[in-house]
Amino acid sequence: MLKIDSDEIKSQFKKYAVDFAGRIMPPNNLADWIKANTDDSSVGRQKWSSFQNIWKFYSTPTQKARILDLGCGTGSVVFNALEDKYLTIGMEPEPELINIISKKNNHYFKTSQLKHKYPLFMRAVGEKLPVKSNSFDAIFTYQALEHVNDLKAVLREGVRVLKPGGLMHITAPNYLSFYEGHYCLFWLPLLPKSLAKAYLFFRKRDTKYIDTITYTTKKRIVNCFNKREVAIFDHNLLRFYQQFDLNIKNTSGIKSPLRGFFYRMAKSRRFSCYLEAFEKKRLLILNPQLDIVVIKQPYQQKENRSEKVRIY
């Protein structure tokens, strides 16, 4: 289990976080963000474990695989992957975060928590990766795409550096939902930036930061890819179908009496189709996070339910 004992690293990131997000996030959320980036054994381990499960579901990981974390922040996922002996590289454009990453890397090496000390991180922008084509078996990007200047260029670069059959896992905010995760506020879907600034001013939040955000939606992300090059899956839908089937089999576990009534009626196949369509629309609006899996062709279908959630 990775542990940071260095007060210097913790205080440096805390200063960065307060300067960067002090007028964006509420104090409680800011404190959680600081803890997540200075305790790689918690949130970083959870993200890495989640990625491994998705990778195993859609593909066949090997210990020799090369992984890229696109927009790695303070490197928490990279360090956890390295702890599990996966060759992983992080890409981050922010110089201050690269400086923190370097100190964390040296700390883990000196305290013998990681055995390999080599260039694990590179400072670069996603629109132009300094990497040869077909270099990585998997790419992970967590809550980073909303910060890029050219969404299409970044995702096309991701496909370029993936090996054939390689997997890209994308998590990003869903701006068709009613929540903005950076400000931790109720938010209207695709709220125009001019109205957003007025709203943020009223809520006494930083109004300039919204200009740095690109509104991400499933459709906008999917439309960035060349359909002939990739297979794309909505992993949120997979979770939906798993829960949907569970609710139909065991309606007693549903807390809402009204939803329980509809699910009992859904035991009829005809009504089940209507309920499924309604619940999928509900998922689109209420889920604040997109969870998309992209596989570079050729895609070899596994014997699971992935085809049901395939977009194309």
Rounded to whole angstroms, how far apart are CA atoms 112 and 274?
57
Mean pLDDT of the chain: 86
Which two tokens mark 241?
Answer: 């179908």
The predicted structure's pLDDT at residue 290: 95
Q: Is 214 contained in some domain?
A: yes
Rounded to whole angstroms, how far apart are CA atoms 240 and 237?
5
Which two tokens mark 297?
Answer: 């062709």
Find all residues with CB under 8 Å of 134, minimum gap 6, and list them: 161, 162, 163, 164
- Tell me the residue ranges of DSSP E strands in the chain: 66-70, 87-91, 121-122, 136-142, 162-173, 179-180, 185-186, 230-234, 289-296
Q: Is 1 contained in some domain?
A: no
Rounded to whole angstroms, how far apart are CA atoms 48 and 102?
20
Rounded to whole angstroms, how far apart are CA atoms 198 and 217?
23
Q: Is 218 contained in some domain?
A: yes
Based on the structure, what is the number of domains in the chain? 1
pLDDT in tens, 27-81: 899 888 888 888 877 888 999 999 999 999 898 888 889 999 999 999 999 999 9
Q: Do the strands 87-91 and 121-122 form a parallel or antiparallel pair, or are they unpaired? A: parallel
The predicted structure's pLDDT at residue 23: 86
Does residue 99 carry a pLDDT above 80? yes
Q: Is 274 contained in some domain?
A: no
The predicted structure's pLDDT at residue 274: 65
Q: What is the dihedral of CA 56, 58, 59, 63, to 10 degrees?
A: -30
Average pLDDT over residues 231-241: 85
Which two tokens mark 102?
Answer: 């370097």
Q: Is 94 contained in some domain?
A: yes
Q: Is 267 contained in some domain?
A: no
Q: Is 250 contained in some domain?
A: no
Q: Is 42 contained in some domain?
A: yes
- Find the helix or strand (DSSP H, E) in which 48 lies: helix 45-58
Helix-helix angle 269-286:235-249, to 10 degrees: 140
CATH number, domain containing residue 220: 3.40.50.150
> What is the extent of the structural domain holding 19?
11-235+291-300
Find the range with the poorest average confidence among 9-18, 59-68, 188-197, 240-249.
Answer: 240-249
